[in-house]
Amino acid sequence: QARSKKQAEPLTEACTTEVRDFFRVAARAPVDLKKTAGSWWANLVKNLRSGCEEDAKKLCSGAPPNKVMQCLKAQKSKLSEGCKQKVFKVQQHQSEDLGLDPHAFKACEPDIAKFPACNVSDPPGAQASCLREHREELSEACRKELFRREQENSEDVRLKVKLFSMCKSEIKELCADEEFGEARVLKCLWTHSLQKTVKGFGEDCKQEVNKHARRSASDYRLDYKLRTQCDKSIEKMCAAEKAAVDNMTLVELFGGQTKDGTYLFQGKGGQVVHCLKKNFKTLHSDSCRNAVMRIVQVHSLMWDADAVTKEVCANDVTTLCGDKKGQDAVHLCLRKHLDKLSVDCKEEELLQGSLEAEDIVMKPLLLRACFSAVRDFCLGVLPGQGRVTQCLQDSMTKPDFPRHCRDRVADDLEASNHDWRLKYGISERCKDDVAELCKDVDLSTKAPILTCLKKRLHDVKSEACSSEMRRYIKQGLSNIRFAPALNAKCTNDVDEYCSEVQPGGGQVHECLLRHRDEISAECAEAEFQMQALKAADASLSPNVATKCKSSMKALCGDVKAGKGAMWACLEDNKEEDGMDADCRHVVEAEMMLKHSAFHLNLRLAQYCTADAEALCPEQLGKASFKDFHSEGAVISCLAKILSKVNGTDCKSELARKVGQRVQKNMLDPKLRDVCGDDMAKFCRESKGDAAQQFCMHQHFEQLSAECKESQAVYMAASSQLTYNWRVKRACASTVTKFCKNVQQGEGRLMQCLLMHMHHPGVDAGCRKTLEQEQAKRTKSIDFNPMIKATCVGDIKKLVDNKTCAEKSGGQGGWQLDCLTEHSEMIASAQCKQVVKFLKLRQSADVRAKPGAADACAQDINTLCPDIEAGGGRINECLRKNKEKIASDECKKKISVIWRSDKAHAATNYRIKKFCVNEIAAFCKDVEPGDSRLLGCLGLHVKEASFSEKCKASLSGTDVLDAVKKAPMSAIQAEFKQMLERHKGFFDKWGSLLMFGTVGFVSIIAFAVSYCILHRKLFHPGYNVVVPKDLES
């Protein structure tokens, strides 16, 4: 008692030894409950007998005398408070001195002799501690007693002598509010040991706490909380496992030397703990779940503290993770190599990982590294269901996110992305979809279920599952490490081409795309699949997430992501004012990629596959490999034969793609390849897509054959407003103002715009784009859809009869010149009409004639520097200065227009402009052609309502020659009517009278008309004035 009370004057060593030996002997004496009070053995703890007599009779009446104390300790939770305290005192003495525990001492006495170092008494608990160091070499009897003592002592930290001694200050500082007993202080110490920095928590204490935690997690009986809080669940769910481990020897449980001398390196215990982990979601109480969560924490930190995992994964760890250091490194390593693990090891790792995924608390090192990040970025996020972990994953790319936490989250995410069961959200929300969509997948591959769900994302029915999968895919697009199947296939390619690229932000993917023609086939196919997912859903793109938020809100606020809709909106609005420059670059890069492969365009592939099969089978076959090597050939093929496409939806979707290529030709991979040298040669100084394309159009005849062929496709398409977004955007108000009633299709709207391009109501931006369109049209008939559609037959006839000479390649605009210069020989009425419009545009602007812009550029700059284009003004200026024109080619070009203007009112822009009222009033029934309209106007020039502007526009024309023809036609019409009225008379005398009358009237009419016209148009004092607002 004096020793136990630690009196100020300590006992001598001899006295201490004597007292200890006395109590050791006394402790071995049996307790006889039938004897009267005062037994000297019972006085080891004062009043033990009196305090526990009733409890012993009630609970241990059947126990042998020498096992009454063991019985009381086993029934401790049922003891009266007074007896409980007495029993605890006995336990405390026994924990300090093995010799005071008669059963343990007797069982271990031979082992103490075997290990002389264990024959010690000080410090307290040293002897038992020494034996535990040699646990696997001890006799079965000694191990069994030590195991019993561990179970009994698991309730109170004070019974763990070494731990209690090392952690006294920590208990005082950190766990002062916790009562001793029921393992409360042990739990407190464990919780604080997991924190990154805890003031006053010493390393020695932490090591001892971890050592205790490791041991207690190895068998359910060694963890007081688990044993007591989960008793019902164990009885209900784990009875077989309990029976199995309860009947095992200690060597079988924990390993060691067997009776036959062989050595069992790994025990087979831990089955009850394993069972509780497997049934975690259905455990009977929260207290039991909390106890299991703590075990999962221990297993997370120390993989080999899990007896089952240690048994089945030892070889895998040695083979795959032998060099891994750190508390949780082995688990991360095993998860990253799931496809290489043995079946049993994989099952155990998935069990541990799936539990960790449920709550960050079960990932203690992650929580320790990210404690401040959880506070700063995930405050208010409810625990459980993987929510806090997901919050950290979603936040880790933010600029002020702690780096040490980011690294830890990245490692954990990389490991967990190897199997759907390691991701709480997917494993919980995708069960039904997995059962339906992935039942036949090869489970031996890398991340098989996740890969299956990725491939069939559009077939996933559950919105919750789809949302979780999009998170997973987005993670992989941000960092290739988080896409394990892809990463495995591209490891060598990344090492070769992207070794210096920092992962994150999609940078490695961008690098692989830059080298997509060089990377291996399996890497290209895997990367293609990932890019296809991103191409279908803009929200998956890490760049869109960081650079397009405001643009999406401003321009696409009502558009839902998925099925390519958001990308389509961003693409269609990339030139709008609300589009951020950074976002525009992201969108343009995505467009460049999508134009390289048919199957990266979800809606195009959906709607146009049938047409592609029929019209472009060879190109579609190449694209079906889905490996970036098709060079956008399917899109290019369909673009060349737009008129043959049948599907309405396909036409609509294809129109978008063709429109994009029209706006930026370099979206066509082949064109980009074959026109690179031409671009560098002719347009190096041009800045911007529009300027570069206009430059290439200007040099069309000088381009290489391949480049010219590719350019021609989109130059032809751009001649229709449907595909020419630049003109459509610039001229939207002009269309409304002048062309709203024009039927769409076949280039009619563009024709209308070109006819009005010089009207003062057309804004400068629209006029500029139309001038570029006009310049392009001079290069080939292919760029004039209405002419090409109606005049091919007439051109062939003109060539066949040698009227026009065919030029090599069908380029250079020679066909247009053929038609305009020989329009009187055109047989087709439709062709005549469209050629008339072309001649009218050339009359308005000399630059509309093939070759005239280049041929006359210098003369226009010299002779007409201040003259505004359009309205025939440049033509008139050059005509006035025809003697000063230096270029013979310009003279030749302009002379053709002048001849037409002189002879034909219908194609003379100034006459059509200023004689609208006169034509309506006097010549509405006159059929154009053979100068009839010009002659009609000449005949009525004397009318009072004839405007001065119209008279001025007739100056310089062949109106006199036209008048010579006009009267005869008019007289004949009048005479025909008279014949009808007096048919009988004329039957007899008609012929003679008709010829005489017609001849006489014709002579008189011509003489009068000639005098009038000569006076009106060619009077010496008359000047032609061209008003400044000619187009008004």
The pLDDT of 618-644, averaged and rounded, is 94
Instruction: Tell whether the torsion through CA atoms of 579, 582, 587 and 591 is positive or negative.
Output: positive
Secondary structure string (H, E, C) spanning 354-373: HHHHHCHHHCHHHHHHCHHH
Q: What pLDDT is recorded for position 984?
A: 52
Instruction: Give the DSSP letter of residue 688.
Output: S
Q: What pLDDT is recorded for position 157?
A: 95
Flag whether pLDDT at 1026 surpasses 70: no
Q: What pLDDT is recorded for position 598?
A: 97
Flag whether pLDDT at 261 surpasses 80: no
Q: What pLDDT is recorded for position 603?
A: 92
Three-class SS state of 405: helix
Q: Compute the distance between CA of residue 724 and CA of residue 662 in angstroms, rounded to an integer.
A: 6
Three-class SS state of 278: helix
Three-class SS state of 407: helix
Q: What pLDDT is recorded for position 977?
A: 46
Flag whether pLDDT at 230 surpasses 80: yes
User: pLDDT category, 200, cuts 50, 70, 90?
Assistant: confident
Structure tokens at 846: 């000399």
Flag whether pLDDT at 994 surpasses 60: no
Closest Cα partner for 819 from 806, 807, 831? Answer: 831
Q: What pLDDT is recorded for position 450?
A: 94
Residue 256 backbone dihedrals phi, psi, to 5 degrees: 140, -165
Q: Compute the distance between CA of residue 554 and CA of residue 682 in angstroms, rounded to an integer.
A: 39
Each residue of 404-426: pLDDT tens digit? 999 999 999 999 999 999 999 99
Q: What pLDDT is recorded for position 32?
A: 56
pLDDT above 70 as % of the chain: 89
User: pLDDT category, 141, cuts 50, 70, 90?
Assistant: very high
Q: Count the alpha carbons within 13 Å of 172 in the hemisphere toward its beta carbon.
A: 7
Each residue of 100-121: pLDDT tens digit? 888 899 999 999 999 999 988 7
- 3-state helix, strand, coil split of the chain in percent (to 5) is 70, 0, 30
Residue 696 identity: M
Q: What pLDDT is recorded for position 543?
A: 92
Q: What is the distance of C-alpha 771 from the center of its chain?
A: 40
Q: What pLDDT is recorded for position 8?
A: 53
Flag whether pLDDT at 495 surpasses 80: yes
Q: What pLDDT is recorded for position 121?
A: 79
The pLDDT of 854-876, averaged and rounded, is 92
Q: Compute the distance between CA of residue 967 and CA of residue 1002 in angstroms, rounded to an integer.
A: 7
Each residue of 551-589: pLDDT tens digit? 999 999 999 888 899 999 999 999 898 999 999 999 999
Q: What pLDDT is recorded for position 11?
A: 65
The pLDDT of 694-720, averaged and rounded, is 92
Q: Compute the distance between CA of residue 791 and CA of residue 835 in angstroms, rounded to an integer.
A: 9
Q: What pLDDT is recorded for position 13?
A: 67
Q: What pLDDT is recorded for position 688?
A: 86
Q: Compute the distance between CA of residue 679 and CA of residue 669 in angstroms, rounded to an integer.
A: 14
The pLDDT of 629-642, averaged and rounded, is 93
Q: Compute the distance between CA of residue 864 and CA of residue 862 in angstroms, rounded to an integer.
A: 6
User: pLDDT category, 124, cuts 50, 70, 90?
Assistant: confident
Residue for token digits 């081409």? 497
User: pLDDT category, 985, cuts 50, 70, 90?
Assistant: very low
Q: Looking at the DSSP assignment, which residues form a beta bridge with residue 254? A: none
Q: What pLDDT is recorded for position 69?
A: 85
Q: Compute the distance between CA of residue 711 and CA of residue 705 in angstroms, rounded to an integer.
A: 10
pLDDT above 90 as % of the chain: 70
The pLDDT of 841-846, averaged and rounded, is 94
- Whether a cis peptide bond, with omega within 30° of 0, leads into 1027 is no
Please provide the average confidence, as pLDDT, over all residues in the chain.
Answer: 87
Q: Dihedral, CA atoms, 611, 616, 619, 621, nearest 10 degrees? A: 60
Q: Compute the distance between CA of residue 480 and CA of residue 180 in angstroms, rounded to an integer.
A: 50
Three-class SS state of 675: coil
Higher pLDDT, 981 or 550: 550
Each residue of 715-764: pLDDT tens digit? 999 999 999 989 999 999 999 999 999 988 888 999 999 999 989 899 99
Sequence-ordered list of residues with C-beta below 8 angstroms from that of 109, at least 6 positions apart, any chain: none
User: pLDDT category, 123, cuts 50, 70, 90?
Assistant: confident
Residue 620 identity: L
Q: What pLDDT is recorded for position 650?
A: 95
pTM, 2 dp:
0.78
Q: What pLDDT is recorded for position 376?
A: 95
Cβ atoms 845, 869 nearer than 8 A: yes
Flag whether pLDDT at 94 surpasses 50: yes
Angle formed by the axes of helices 343-358 and 307-320, to 10°?
110
Sequence-ordered list of residues with C-beta below 8 angstroms from that of 526, at least 6 positions apart, any chain: 485, 486, 489, 490
Q: What pLDDT is recorded for position 107?
A: 93
What are the contacts of 600-605 at 24+ separation with CB within 8 A? Answer: 600/528, 600/531, 600/532, 600/535, 601/535, 601/564, 601/635, 601/653, 601/657, 602/532, 602/535, 602/536, 602/563, 602/564, 603/563, 603/564, 603/568, 603/649, 603/653, 604/635, 604/650, 604/653, 604/654, 604/657
Q: What pLDDT is recorded for position 27?
A: 64
List the Cα angle 768/841/958 in 5-degree steps. 145
Structure tokens at 736: 């409304």
Closest Cα partner for 672 from 664, 682, 684? Answer: 664
Flag whether pLDDT at 940 surpasses 70: yes
The total of other beta-carbon atoms located within 10 Å of residue 1007's CB is 10
Q: What is the distance of C-alpha 142 from the center of its chain?
A: 63
Sequence-ordered list of residues with C-beta below 8 angstroms from that of 75, at least 6 positions apart, any chain: 55, 59, 60
Each residue of 271-315: pLDDT tens digit? 999 999 999 999 999 999 999 999 999 999 999 899 999 999 999
Report how far apart, in Å, the C-alpha atoms of 680 and of each of 346, 666, 672, 685, 704 are: 58, 13, 11, 9, 12
Helix (H) or strand (E) holding 196, with range, is none
Structure tokens at 699: 């040099």
Closest Cα partner for 634 from 647, 649, 652, 615? Answer: 615
Q: Compute the distance between CA of residue 131 and CA of residue 154 in angstroms, rounded to an integer.
A: 18
Closest Cα partner for 480 from 469, 467, 468, 489? Answer: 489
Sequence-ordered list of residues with C-beta below 8 angstroms from that of 868, at least 6 positions apart, any chain: none
Q: What pLDDT is recorded for position 883?
A: 92
Q: What pLDDT is recorded for position 799?
A: 94
What is the phi-psi region of residue 947: left when phi exceeds 0, alpha when psi lies from -120 to 50, beta otherwise?
beta
Q: What pLDDT is recorded for position 422?
A: 96
Could you tell me how many residues make up the chain? Answer: 1032
The pLDDT of 625-645, averaged and rounded, is 93
